[in-house]
C-alpha cells in the first residue's frame, strides 16, 4: 500500500531548481509553451516513480528527483512527444537511481540515463526534427509551439519555405559536420538560431537540438549563480570546458581534422555548456578527490569533441558523461592508492634517514 509522500528536504537541490528557471523560460521564449508541457510531464512521472519506489522501501522522496526531471526535460528537443518524455524519465529514476538503492547511491547521473535511453531507442523522434527559434516579441510566449503555427515565422516565409521545411533542417553541429556551414558565434551565444543557408542548391534552416542548450549566455548566468552559492563544484565545470577547448585546438590545428569546428564554435554550440554546468557537476556520480575531478571533467570534455567528430550522432554529451560516470569510482581509487603509496614511501624514507 502506498504511503503519503514524505520529502527529504535538500536546499542544494532547490538551488539547482532555481538555476533551471531562467533556462526553462528562455526555452519557452524560443520554442513556445509546449516546453512547459514537457517539463511538467517529466516532473510528474519522476515524482510518481520515486513515490512508488520510496513507499516500497519506506523512504522519503528526494528533491533530487525534480532536479533530474528538469535537467532531463530541458535536454530534449522541443518537438519530443510527451509519451517519450514520460518513458525516458521513468527509466531515469528506476534504472539511474532506484536500482542502486535510491538517492546518494547511484553510479550514473539519472538524467543522463534517461536522455541516452530515449536517444538510442527513439532516434527518429529525437533527431529527425530540428526547429528554428521564435524571434522578436513576444517570441514563443505567444505560441504553443512553432510546429502548430498556421503560417511559418517571417524569416522562414521570406526564404520561401514552409513549417515542414523548418522541422526537417539541421542543428548548427549537423550543419557544420555534414554541410560545411558554420553558424554565427554571436547567434550561438545568444540563442538566436534560425539562419537560412544553401547546400547544393537546397535551402535549409538551422534548428535547435535541445531546449536547454540554445543560449550559452543564459546558461552562463545560471552557472554564475550555482558557483556563487557554492552549489556546483567549479572544478568539474572548468575542467570539462578546458577539455573541450584544448582537444578541439589540438584535433583541428595539430592533427588537421577539419570536421572538428573552431574552438569558439565548439564552446558555444551543442550541449557542451549545458552539460558542463548541470550534468557533469552531479555530486553523486562525480569523483570526490580533487585531482580525480580535474581528470574526470577533462576526459568528458575531450570525449564530447571526439563524439562530435567521429560519432554517428553529432552531439555526444550524454554518452561522454556516461563514460565519465563509469570511470569516476576507479579514478578516486587510483588517486587514493597513489597518495597512500607516496605517503608510505615518504615515511620509510624518513625512518631510514633518522636511523
Do residues 333 and 221 both lie within one domain? yes
Same domain? For 117 and 166 the reply is: no
Sign of CA pseudo-dihedral 306, 308, 309, 311: positive
Closest CA to 127 of 180, 72, 164, 77: 77
Ranges 115-124, 198-207, 242-251, 259-268, most confident: 242-251
Do 56 and 110 belong together in one domain? yes
The pLDDT of 106-120, averaged and rounded, is 91
Of 168, 186, 205, which marks where a domain is finished?
205
Q: Above 60 in pLDDT, residue 351? A: no
Asked if 25 and 110 sit in the same domain, the reply is: yes
Does any domain span residue 140? no
Write the burial class of residue 239 (CB in 10 Å: 0-12 exposed, 13-18 middle, 19+ buried).
buried
Domain match, 301 and 265 both: yes
Which of these ranges, 59-73, 81-95, 181-195, has the smallest mean pLDDT?
A: 181-195
Q: 242 pLDDT exceeds 80? A: yes
Highest mean predicted confidence (pLDDT) among 48-62, 137-151, 193-207, 273-287: 273-287
Q: Do 303 and 237 fall within a single domain?
A: yes
Domain that holds residue 326: 216-339
Residues 226 and 326 in one domain: yes
Last residue of a domain, one of 181, 205, 229: 205
Return the SS3 of 197.
strand
Residues 215-244, mean pLDDT to the nearest whole number:
94
- Does the pLDDT value for residue 59 go beyond 80? no
Kind and range of the H or E run holding 204: strand 202-205
Q: Is residue 36 part of a domain?
A: yes
DSSP strand pairing (202-205 vs 196-199): antiparallel
Question: Which range (43-52, 161-170, 244-253, 323-332) has the least confidence?
Answer: 161-170
Check whether residue 230 and residue 195 sit in a common domain.
no
Amino acid at each position: 500500500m502506498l504511503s503519503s509522500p514524505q520529502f527529504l528536504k535538500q536546499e542544494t537541490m532547490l538551488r539547482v531548481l532555481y538555476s533551471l528557471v531562467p533556462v526553462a523560460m528562455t526555452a519557452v521564449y524560443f520554442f513556445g509553451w509546449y516546453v512547459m508541457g514537457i517539463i511538467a510531464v517529466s516532473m510528474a512521472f519522476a515524482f510518481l516513480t520515486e513515490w512508488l519506489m520510496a513507499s516500497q522501501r519506506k523512504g522519503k522522496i528526494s528533491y533530487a528527483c525534480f532536479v533530474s526531471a528538469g535537467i532531463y526535460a530541458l535536454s530534449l528537443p522541443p518537438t519530443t512527444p510527451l509519451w517519450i518524455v514520460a518513458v525516458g524519465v521513468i527509466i531515469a529514476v528506476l534504472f539511474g537511481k532506484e536500482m542502486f538503492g535510491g538517492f546518494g547511491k547511484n553510479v550514473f547521473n539519472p538524467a543522463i540515463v534517461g536522455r541516452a535511453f530515449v536517444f538510442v531507442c527513439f532516434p527518429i523522434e529525437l533527431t529527425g526534427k530540428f526547429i528554428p527559434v521564435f524571434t522578436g516579441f513576444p517570441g514563443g510566449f505567444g505560441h504553443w509551439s512553432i510546429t502548430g503555427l498556421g503560417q511559418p515565422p517571417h524569416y522562414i516565409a521570406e526564404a520561401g519555405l514552409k513549417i515542414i521545411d523548418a522541422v526537417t533542417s539541421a542543428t548548427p553541429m549537423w550543419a557544420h559536420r555534414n554541410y560545411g556551414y558554420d553558424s554565427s558565434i554571436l547567434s550561438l551565444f545568444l540563442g538566436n538560431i534560425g539562419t537560412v543557408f544553401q547546400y547544393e542548391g537546397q535551402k535549409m534552416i538551422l534548428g535547435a537540438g535541445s531546449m536547454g542548450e540554445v543560449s550559452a549566455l543564459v546558461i552562463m548566468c545560471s552557472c554564475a549563480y550555482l558557483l556563487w552559492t557554492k552549489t556546483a563544484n567549479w572544478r568539474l565545470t572548468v575542467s570539462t570546458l578546458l577539455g573541450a577547448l584544448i582537444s578541439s585546438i589540438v584535433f583541428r590545428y595539430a592533427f588537421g581534422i577539419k570536421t572538428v569546428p573552431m574552438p569558439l564554435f565548439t564552446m558555444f554550440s551543442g550541449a557542451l555548456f549545458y552539460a558542463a554546468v548541470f550534468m557533469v557537476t552531479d555530486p553523486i556520480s562525480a569523483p570526490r578527490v580533487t585531482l580525480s575531478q580535474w581528470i574526470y571533467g577533462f576526459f568528458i570534455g575531450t570525449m564530447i569533441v571526439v563524439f562530435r567528430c567521429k560519432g554517428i550522432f553529432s552531439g555526444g554529451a550524454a554518452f561522454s558523461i556516461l563514460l565519465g560516470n563509469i570511470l569516476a569510482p576507479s579514478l578516486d581509487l587510483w588517486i587514493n592508492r597513489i597518495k597512500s603509496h607516496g605517503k608510505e614511501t615518504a615515511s620509510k624514507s624518513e625512518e631510514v634517514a633518522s636511523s
